Amino acid sequence: MMTISAQIFDFAFNPYAMLSLMGIVVVLILVYLIQSRGIQNSANKWFTGFLMLLVLWGCGEFFGRLSANPTAAAFWGNISPPGWIFVGVFFLMFTLAYLDKESLLDSVNRKLLIFGSGVFWLFIVWNTNLVSSHGALHKVPWGWEGVPQTGPYFTFFLVWLESFFIASLVLLIRYYFKVKESNKKKQTLLLIIGLFIPLLGGTVTDAILPNLGYSVPGTAILLTSALGVLATYAILRYKLFVINPSTHFANIVKTMNEALIVLNMGEAVEFTNDTVSRLFSFKPEELKQARIQTLIKNETDLTLFENKFIGKLKQKEIVSNLELNLTAKDGSEIPVNISGAPLLDSGNNQVGYVMIASDMREMKKLVYNLVAERNKLSVTLSGITEGVFVVDKDGIISFFNEASEQIFGAKASAVIGKKADEVLQISDADGPVKVEYFFPKEKLSKDMVTYSRNGVRITQPDGKANFANLIAANIVEGEGINLGAIVTIHDVSKEKELEEMKLDFVSMAAHELRTPLTSIRGYLSVLQEELKTKLNEDQLSFLEKAFISSTQLAALVENLLSVSRIERGSLQIQTQVTDWERLLEESYTNFEPQAHERQVKFTYDKPKEKLPYVLVDKFRISEVVSNLIGNALNYTPSGGQVEVSTEIKEDQLITHVKDTGPGIPEQAIPKLFTKFFRVSGVLEQGSKGTGLGLYISKSIVDMHKGRIWVESKIGKGSTFSFSVPVSKDQTLPQMAIPQKGKRMFLRKSS
Ligand code: ADP
């Protein structure tokens, strides 16, 4: 034996043979890696094929280099050709699969062309000397070589072989520039670099040099193996084929949160996953081959299972979301949601049932809590005295509580499901309140009130009117559940009625007081005139005091009347073009004696340029001027100063009344212009005001679309200012009779 093998192989150390062997080992490792870590897809198969061809080629080269005589060398020389002939074809097939372009070679003709031409070359190589030489092998340090090394058709063969690598290269480069995903890009780049190695190196040592007659050790197999290494690295590094479903599916089944049960056609358990053991406390072996009744004890559930699950699956239908109870080992029932599909073999015959059950206990608890919460809320809402109704995004009423029924005079059953605009009549001063006002103009980012109005009028079907404060709000989550707006209505009809009664009473009382007061004041002034000489000084001063008091009372009565008119909205203004300078001068003249008496320095800062005419109700606006000047004089101690001045700002004429009085505390300012408000504390001493003057003034200025405000500093004084509109028409009306004398009903002017 030893002698024979010694004749075939020369076991003297041969580094070139060792290199070939290394190539084989490396490539075999690659095959292992790709097979164990990659999935069986088409690219993987072609790539493995490519590597196996390298092994074949390597074996031929290794044993050839080791051969002890030309006959053995020639034999091994014939082992390699299938390898080196087909590597190009296989690599191209791999590239096409990698690029998802396999369809390019779908046609039988094209396949025949490339594989057939390979077979053709193999025939030529094996049977002729046209490509590589068979005869006259002689020993060189790295093995055996023919003379000449290559045949006359070698160049054709080379072009044919390289064309596959070049085609792969072109396809990969094009793909490299097109692909966006960075891992694919890097992977493709590695393949491109890998391709250059055998294309440049191997072609030189194994083809061009031998073809020119130079004798060098071939490196093609080693360099092509280097391509294999790079490509394998690219594939594994960037996980081209690493997801292997058969191993991963087992993992998925093991770790999934749902219970997976496979039944055979006899409805006995064939397989359960870990979740089944966890949920139902059975050991897997306890369930193995157990009848389904072990898991479904309840009769109703069993019938449901047979009819709605097995029945459907038998007809090869898929079942989803069937709710029933499964029984755990301790007998407790666990609500589950089951889905399933028939289990088919490769011949499409049904062999069992696959059932997936998800635990619904948490979900049930959640739903239970939600329902309880919802019921609690709707009970609360229907019971509260505030009207609450809800509309969806199309303005259709979806909830209407009892209080709403009362306010709107309509039954919930009659309005739910109808458009709010059609069944509810709500209006404010500007006209009907439409349901669209309740929706936000832009997309909601947080819950918010979209509409809020006090004193809206709600007209019932029978014509009866109610008054209410209305607030509409939207919530962010509303969008997902088609909830439009939640509208809350606070019925203020009763308050409004009371208010009305109060106003009626006040205005009636004031009217009734007016006539006797006028005669009292009339008689008092007659007495004052007639008894001037007959009474002593004390008696005269009593008369004077009685007159002043009755005048103050008359002013109060007038103020009360004004307030009730304002409240009812019956106070109206009639504007006309007015000479503001003149009006101020008249007021100034009226107040001069009072200022003098109180020893207050009173000035009117007459503007240098003539003021434009304004558009005001002379009579009403004089009340404002008188009120402000009166207050200033009233609250400024003797020795102080009151100054009236004017200013033009755009189309508004602003009048300031500045005093050096005690000033107004900051916290009182926001309430200053409200009804009956008086600053409490030291300030009110010495003045018997009613707290109505500023309220009336503000109402009058508002009616002129002007603005009234105050700036004040405690201890320094206050400046009250208000604006009135400048008239566009600058001609005074013909019959401009100047308003003479004091307006006696304003307490301040007396
Ligand atoms: P009245 O003067 O009748 O009390 P007003 O509505 O005119 O009612 O004024 C409301 C309150 O504002 C006054 O009670 C007073 O406390 C305060 N006030 C008004 N004008 C001045 C002023 N010029 N200086 C200080 N306080 C003032």
Looking at the CA of residue 677, tell me the nearest atom of ligand 1: 10
Q: Whose CA is nearest to atom 25 of ligand 1?
A: 663
How far apart are the C-alpha atoms of 453 and 699, rounded to whole Å? 20
What is the structure's pLDDT at 246? 52
How far apart are the C-alpha atoms of 91 and 95, rounded to whole Å? 6
Q: Whose CA is nearest to atom 9 of ligand 1?
A: 691
Sign (positive or negative) of CA dihedral 36, 39, 40, 44: negative
What confidence tens digit (pLDDT) does each residue in 421-464 have? 999 999 988 889 999 899 888 877 788 898 999 989 999 999 99
CB atoms within 10 A of CB 537: 7
Looking at the CA of residue 663, tell me the nearest atom of ligand 1: 25
DSSP designation for 728: S
Q: How confident is the model at residue 668 (pLDDT cuts 50, 70, 90)?
A: very high
Q: How would you classify the pairing of strands 601-604 and 641-649?
A: parallel
What is the structure's pLDDT at 747? 40
DSSP designation for 544: H
Q: How would you classify the pairing of strands 717-725 and 465-474?
A: unpaired
Residue ranges of E strands in 533-574: none
Q: Whose CA is nearest to atom 3 of ligand 1?
A: 689
Q: Which residues line ligand 1 (CB under 6 A)?
A: 627, 631-632, 635, 659, 661-662, 664, 672, 677-679, 683-684, 689-695, 718
Angle between helices 493-530 and 537-568 (to 10 degrees): 150
DSSP designation for 281: -
Looking at the CA of residue 692, tell me the nearest atom of ligand 1: 6
Confidence (pTM): 0.47
How far is ligand 1, taken at its centre, from the CA of residue 655, in Å?
18
How far is ligand 1, taken at its centre, from the CA of residue 366, in Å?
61
What is the structure's pLDDT at 629? 96
How far apart are the C-alpha atoms of 513 and 554, rounded to whole Å? 8
How far is ligand 1, taken at its centre, from the CA of residue 585, in Å?
23
How far apart are the C-alpha atoms of 526 and 484, rounded to whole Å? 72
How far is ligand 1, taken at its centre, from the CA of residue 672, in Å?
8
How far apart are the C-alpha atoms of 267 and 262, rounded to whole Å? 9
Q: Whose CA is nearest to atom 23 of ligand 1?
A: 632
Closest CA relative to residue 693, chosen from 640, 596, 618, 627:
627
How far apart are the C-alpha atoms of 699 and 675, rounded to whole Å? 10
What confidence tens digit (pLDDT) does each residue in 494-545 have? 988 898 898 888 889 988 999 999 999 999 999 999 988 898 989 999 999 9
Q: Which residues contact 64 (CB under 8 A, 6 or more apart)?
A: 73, 76, 77, 79, 80, 143, 144
What confidence tens digit (pLDDT) does each residue in 402-423 have? 999 999 999 999 999 999 999 9
Backbone phi and psi for residue 69, each to the nearest 5 degrees, phi listed first: -145, 160
How far is ligand 1, taken at its centre, from the CA of residue 724, in Å?
21
Q: Whose CA is nearest to atom 13 of ligand 1?
A: 678
Give me the residue label for tokens 């292992």: 32
Q: How confident is the model at residue 248 (pLDDT cuts 50, 70, 90)?
A: low
* Most informative mutation of 602, 678, 699, 750 for ligand 1 (most atoms within 8 A of CB): 678
Looking at the CA of residue 684, tell me the nearest atom of ligand 1: 16
**What SS3 state is found at 126?**
helix
Backbone phi and psi for residue 647, each to the nearest 5 degrees, phi listed first: -160, 145
Run of H or E residues at 426: strand 426-428
